[in-house]
Amino acid sequence: MDFGIKNKWGLVCAGSKGLGRACAESLAEEGVNVVIVARGAEALAETAAHIGENTEVEVRTVAADITTPEGRKEALGACPQLDILVNNAGGPPAGNFRDFEIADWEKALHANMLTPIELIKSVLDGMIERKFGRIVNITSAAVKAPIPILGLSNGARAGLTGFIAGLSRQTPMHNVTINNILPGAFATETMNGRMAAMAKQSNQTIEDVAESRLNAIPAGRFGEPKEFGQLCAYICSAQASYITGHNFLIDGGVYNGTL
Ligand code: NAP
């Protein structure tokens, strides 16, 4: 199927590794020129080279912290025109909420709620004017089923989700859609780090932690970033113009609900 987005421009935040990278790769495979942002220049260059070798699209990189106003300005400045925005950033740390200070909450809110809202504010009216826009926010399965030790993530991402629920109904008449994708457990650096922390905390091996996580996943495996990226590319397709305001859970069947 041709997704109808060839030659569009997409900005993929936090796109040098993991889920963000997979979104950039899948969009590029559909002919979307991509601007990829992350802080570390080395992984960015490697990702850009990989995309360049495998597709015909133009790839630009911005080494910046997307959670800062300067980083966002630099990222937006690298896009000649913005048709697709994938919002993403690192997730906040786990912990007991009694230990979180206001500064911890501010950091989580900046990264996982206010940064996507600021970026949307910068790009939305241009998309509306050009009658095409696809905005995808990478959030977490924790929005649907909160994870007790991830209070900062549960809270900040729920705030973004509530805001998007309202905004996403104000744009589809202009062929601009806004949706969220909620990852369950995907095999990425972040997830490996979380499992290592859990292993240390509970005096288990990483293998034991991984096994108990796998036992709770009906699919019997961790998600592959590529399957996440491909869902993102479909939501950004021309065909998906009637889909807005949704929360796409991609978790191998973990969430046990009828709806
Ligand atoms: P990952 O593989 O560790 O990749 C994180 C990416 O984000 C890297 O490219 C990193 O590059 C970039 N990044 C982090 N902070 C940034 C910042 N401030 N500015 C710009 N780039 C930044 O992580 P992932 O697993 O793909 O996770 C992506 C998001 O999904 C996170 O918010 C995570 O909490 C959430 N999530 C993941 C899972 C999972 O199972 N993987 C499940 C639920 C939710 P630099 O470090 O070089 O900046």
Q: Where are the beta strands (DSSP E) in 107-191?
A: 133-138, 176-183
Q: Dihedral sign for Cα 85, 81, 69, 25, please.
A: positive
Alpha-carbon gap, residue 234 to 140, rounded angstroms: 19
Specify the pLDDT at position 198.
83
178: three-class secondary structure by DSSP? strand
Alpha-carbon gap, residue 238 to 114, rounded angstroms: 27
Alpha helices in 39-114 (DSSP H): 41-54, 69-77, 102-109
Cα of 117 from ligand 1 centre, angstroms? 18
Alpha-carbon gap, residue 164 to 123, rounded angstroms: 15
Cα of 17 from ligand 1 centre, angstroms? 7
Specify the pLDDT at position 152.
97
Which residue ranges have their beta carbon within 6 Å of ligand 1? 14, 16-20, 37-40, 43, 65-67, 88-91, 138, 140-141, 183, 185-186, 188-191
Specify the pLDDT at position 104.
98
Cα of 144 from ligand 1 centre, angstroms? 19
pLDDT tens digit string along 85-137?
999 999 999 899 999 999 999 999 999 999 999 999 999 999 999 999 999 99
Specify the pLDDT at position 194.
84
Residue numbers in the chain where pLDDT is lower than 70: none
